[in-house]
Amino acid sequence: MVVSHNHNPFKSGIFVLREMITYNDIYEALRKERYSEQLQPLPKKFVQEVAEYIKEKKKVSKQSDIEESDKALFSDEEAKIKKQLENATAIFNELMLLRKKKLLGLVFLASETGISKRDFENMLDFEKELFDNLISSVQDSEKKLASEINNSHSVGDENLYKELRLILFLEDVDELIGMDGEALGPFKKDEIVNLPKHVADILISDRKAEIVLE
């Protein structure tokens, strides 16, 4: 009878890793983000998967120190894992920084004109929350600015003109004229736009648009 022995400690016992996101997956995500102006789609649980990847790599690295007598067997492999862990962490941090910069650009774009449905859908959940908070801050600052400049308006009029809503268009809509006489649009289906509340409410009631962020 022939018995097969596995002498690689990283493929037996406590060193077996579960199938998960790989280093190449993380690097590829960064590469795509670098070479595109648009926010790139990521798996919805990308951050959790990277966190699990880093956790497992740290576990393996620590476990490799358990048996001092076996150090020579896998010291090279241990060094590779530690280096890969450092690189993966750096790549992930750069990826998140790139996406934050793009997100800030989208906040400005949304506050002035609008963004595409794809841009919004490509955000991770925490990015959507950040986007929501930033849009609210921009709107608040615009209200304060309007209050100082247009001090001849009543508070009610000011709120009517300056309170904004982010909406998703459900169909193409021709150019609109706001209550202040400003031309708005035209707008395309699936476009996400920040519009004065009174205009947004009309479009929503006509079922031509739906609210994105309250």
CATH at residue 146: 3.40.5.50
Last residue of a domain, one of 94, 112, 130: 112
Please report whether residue 46 resides in a domain.
yes
Last residue of a domain, one of 112, 142, 157: 112
Which whole number is the average pLDDT over 27-50? 95
Please report whether residue 108 resides in a domain.
yes
Which has more confidence, 32 or 148? 32
Are 24 and 78 within one domain?
yes
State phi, psi for 165 to the nearest 5 degrees. -135, 140
Last residue of a domain, one of 112, 130, 165: 112
Please report whether residue 1 resides in a domain.
no
Please report whether residue 3 resides in a domain.
no
**Do residues 161 and 200 lie in contact, with contact meaning Cβ atoms separated by under 8 Å?**
no
Are 45 and 99 within one domain?
yes
Please report whether residue 198 resides in a domain.
yes
Are 161 and 203 within one domain?
yes
Please report whether residue 123 resides in a domain.
yes
Biggest alpha carbon–alpha carbon distance for the chain: 97
Among 9-18, 79-88, 95-104, 181-190, the range with the most confident prediction by mean pLDDT is 95-104
For 19, the domain range is 9-112
Which whole number is the average pLDDT over 9-20? 46
**Do residues 10 and 77 lie in contact, with contact meaning Cβ atoms separated by under 8 Å?**
yes
Cα-to-chain-centroid distance, residue 80? 30
Are 152 and 81 within one domain?
no
Are 34 and 90 within one domain?
yes
56: tokens are 């497992």
pLDDT for residue 16: 41
Residue 188 has pLDDT above 80, yes or no: yes
pLDDT for residue 160: 47
Residue 64 has pLDDT above 80, yes or no: no
Are 164 and 95 within one domain?
no
Nearest Cα residue to 188 out of 98, 95, 111, 117: 117
Which has more confidence, 25 or 10? 25
pLDDT for residue 202: 84
Which whole number is the average pLDDT over 197-202? 84
pLDDT (tens digit per residue) in 41-62: 999 999 999 999 999 888 877 6
| Residues of the chain above pLDDT 70, percent | 74
pLDDT for residue 112: 72
Are 103 and 154 within one domain?
no
Q: In angstroms, rounded to a whole number, what is the distance separating the alpha carbons of residues 19 and 5?
A: 23
Are 175 and 97 within one domain?
no
| Residues of the chain above pLDDT 90, percent | 32
Are 159 and 106 within one domain?
no
Q: In angstroms, rounded to a whole number, what is the distance separating the alpha carbons of residues 34 and 28?
A: 10
Are 76 and 128 within one domain?
no
Question: What is the tally of structural domains in the chain?
Answer: 2
Please report whether residue 49 resides in a domain.
yes
Residue 204 has pLDDT above 50, yes or no: yes
Residue 178 has pLDDT above 70, yes or no: no
pLDDT (tens digit per residue) in 126-152: 999 999 888 888 878 877 877 777 765
Please report whether residue 4 resides in a domain.
no
Are 124 and 146 within one domain?
yes
Are 13 and 31 within one domain?
yes
